[in-house]
Structure 1
């Protein structure tokens, strides 16, 4: 797989590592340089007697280096990638040396062990007993929340902005104690509304209503279809065990294009959102990774790249979240088109309405749209199609500048997350080139 400079930069832990890596992207720094379809490897001469032994797994993006650096990937791994990206002819191609083969085989063995573990049957009886005990506790929490929301509405909403921090912190903690972290998260979202903006009343009433309806739905779980039971339980905060998802979730094999990635800071965690699009199935998939400070991503996914993989979908009404069952390597990037890509905004809005009809609890709907442009009107960014249909965008200043710079008023194909009042554009393709507009997402 050939990585672009932008994709390599995204792998770096910080700007200093990018600078140091580019400083090592010189043939003079490497006494050995090799490449195969599976990996890159090399010996980088440092200040010590022996050169550092560096290797990169190109199929599943992983790194190993004998240097003492605590950063991952280290500057040597980045330097090897930068050099290969700019001057691949400097690398000797052929069979990997033993030390590279051994590392790759060890990684493949771990992946197989993980797959075998996923295939093991779940102890259904023990799981059912734990869920029943939790169900009773959540029911008490649900009654507590509904009573609290009714009191909030009765007392009026005009004074909420001045006391939002203390107001929602208490009920959020009570939902955590009731083992309903999903409902706690909904309360935190109400706490974090921008109460100095013009839309806070709409956001508050919509968010409170959503939480109330989820709570009410949970009280009538036994009257819902299996798909809706899974959906409501997930919204309340029941985790779907990875082993269960991998064993019994819908299995889909495809070449998955990483259409966008973004990060959300949530308390002490960094949540990485990776949006995927299947070439053959035209389906969207969302792969999440939760990282504590200093932790490394288990699976490195580069925006604009394609990974051939079997994934398992979580259960629900309109499931998008997935886990990787098996990654089979990389494929050549492609530009979405045809069946899965809407031609204009009228078709895209139809997709959005159909998705919201199937699941009205959805926050944002993923959609690919071609033949659109970015336009400005009264300091607001919009997307416009050839039929003069307009939809407002929520786009940060950096994304706005980059978007207008790379499109220059021309039509493009974009990946959007469609919301009720505005959409977000995370990436786009123009003249066969991919650009990402998403950095860190802070809600």
Structure 2
């Protein structure tokens, strides 16, 4: 459930390990293949699909002709075969089959033995792998050595992309930011495509965000300069990765787009589901789920992805407590986690998590930036705050000391703001949300009247 990219990193996870949607899309040879593959990432055009526990996928995909295309993928390579005439590699049918698998579609259940045509292709691959090269050595690397070499090749490509991006940022600043809002200024999408080619989807995403800033309203040159500086910092960090401390290096790898697996012993706890919401981004939908551990006191963020209009999982009801294990990922803050085994059934939530003042939330975000300078927001629970109008927006005012946090622009424009105002009724409430440089984004709330003598109360989801 990590924000992860890159098919090559997924291959190091072992045969049969399911990839994420972004890892699949990173394999596409170009944007057109990415879009065409996304359209085939649902069960509708497929028939006779199946997979083995060893990481082989197969299926028949309807095409323009009368005969479906035979498509098979060996995820341990990865390697692809398809009867379509496309010269792209992988073709859109292979990408669609991989997306079907990545999204966990039940249509791609385990089908036992592969059909004859797929098995014949697999046997040919095994035979070629077993043929020794001149000198008695294998014709290609295998196992951990192959994974190491692939990782090195990908790192070299990312380094090349980062160096090119540094040059483009320097050209932008040298030429002046004023030119960036011209209609003919099309550098962003081209640069993002180059970062995808370099297998650095994290850099590509940040470059695409730059393209939207000139249309974001007054003051956009300042915001563009800030984001360019952060992108330059990320480039520089990657180019000097070997000089960084371990946790920061892990954060940089994740921000660039490399997969970093969850590590360490799982943490079993009674996890309160604080919030859940989806963020659509083109062909991908990202689901964010916030959890709070009653015994550990830790906050965890679950990330999952869906493709081609599919809803990502897991779907956890806001306001319940689940007895479960989660395993955290390395990197700054160690918030991102993977949901593991669940025990029993969800129960109604108890009291909200312990919280602090608005000043505490701002200070916590500042400390988190030391570990992850590219962090947009940090989770925070505010106790006894009152939503109050402020100019063109709103703010949360601390009832005890009068300190305040402005609400972010997305929060002000959402109907959930009026839920929060109605719940407060002018009185103090407890609010959970994300606090960052754009302000505070409220996601769930509790009011004193909703909490009984035993501390149990209802969670009001604001999204």
Shorter-chain TM-score tier: 0.5 to 0.7
| Correspondence list, 1:145-294, <5 A | 145-163=165-183, 166-193=186-213, 195-240=215-260, 244-245=261-262, 248-294=263-309
| Correspondence list, 1:30-429, <5 A | 124-163=144-183, 166-193=186-213, 195-240=215-260, 244-245=261-262, 248-329=263-344, 330-338=346-354, 341-342=355-356, 344-386=357-399, 387-394=401-408, 395=411, 396-429=413-446
| RMSD after superposition | 2.2
Aligned partners of 1:279 and 1:336 also within 8 Å: no
Q: Is the counterpart of residue 437 in structure 1 residue 462 in structure 2? A: yes
Closer/same/farther in 2, CA of residues 196 and 369 from structure 1, 3 Å limit: closer
Aligned-pair distance for 1:363? Answer: 1.1
Aligned partners of 1:250 and 1:314 also within 8 Å: no
Secondary structure of 1:193's aligned partner: helix
Closer/same/farther in 2, CA of residues 312 and 164 from structure 1, 3 Å limit: farther
Deviations 1:360-398 (A, max 9, x none): 221111111111010002231000012111211022241
Aligned-pair distance for 1:165? Answer: 6.7
Distance in 2 (CA, whole Å) between partners of 1:197 and 1:413 is 32
List runs of 5+ in structure 1 lacking aligned partners: 1-106, 111-122, 439-443
Deviations 1:7-35 (A, max 9, x none): xxxxxxxxxxxxxxxxxxxxxxxxxxxxx
Secondary structure of 1:159's aligned partner: helix
Closer/same/farther in 2, CA of residues 379 and 405 from structure 1, 3 Å limit: same
- Aligned residues between the structures: 311
Aligned-pair distance for 1:350? Answer: 2.1
Closer/same/farther in 2, CA of residues 124 and 277 from structure 1, 3 Å limit: farther
Distance in 1 (CA, whole Å) between partners of 2:342 and 2:392 is 44
TM-score with structure 1 length normalisation? 0.66
1:60 match: none
Aligned partners of 1:391 and 1:423 also within 8 Å: yes
Distance in 1 (CA, whole Å) between partners of 2:178 and 2:308 is 38
Deviations 1:161-190 (A, max 9, x none): 234872211100000001110000001111
Distance in 2 (CA, whole Å) between partners of 1:187 and 1:201 is 15
Aligned-pair distance for 1:297? Answer: 4.0
Distance in 1 (CA, whole Å) between partners of 2:185 and 2:306 is 26
Aligned partners of 2:332 and 2:368 also within 8 Å: no
Aligned-pair distance for 1:406? Answer: 1.9
Secondary structure of 1:179's aligned partner: coil
- More moved, 268-277 vs 161-170: 161-170
Distance in 1 (CA, whole Å) between partners of 2:149 and 2:427 is 59
Secondary structure of 1:310's aligned partner: strand
Aligned partners of 2:285 and 2:309 also within 8 Å: no
Aligned-pair distance for 1:349? Answer: 2.1
Closer/same/farther in 2, CA of residues 164 and 287 from structure 1, 3 Å limit: farther
Deviations 1:111-166 (A, max 9, x none): xxxxxxxxxxxx64433221111111111111000000000001111121234872
Deviations 1:164-217 (A, max 9, x none): 872211100000001110000001111122624124223211211111111111
Closer/same/farther in 2, CA of residues 269 and 359 from structure 1, 3 Å limit: closer
Closer/same/farther in 2, CA of residues 231 and 124 from structure 1, 3 Å limit: farther
TM-score with structure 2 length normalisation? 0.64
Closer/same/farther in 2, CA of residues 401 and 313 from structure 1, 3 Å limit: same
Aligned partners of 2:214 and 2:224 also within 8 Å: no
Aligned partners of 1:366 and 1:415 also within 8 Å: yes
Closer/same/farther in 2, CA of residues 264 and 297 from structure 1, 3 Å limit: closer
Distance in 2 (CA, whole Å) between partners of 1:279 and 1:426 is 19
Aligned partners of 1:255 and 1:279 also within 8 Å: yes
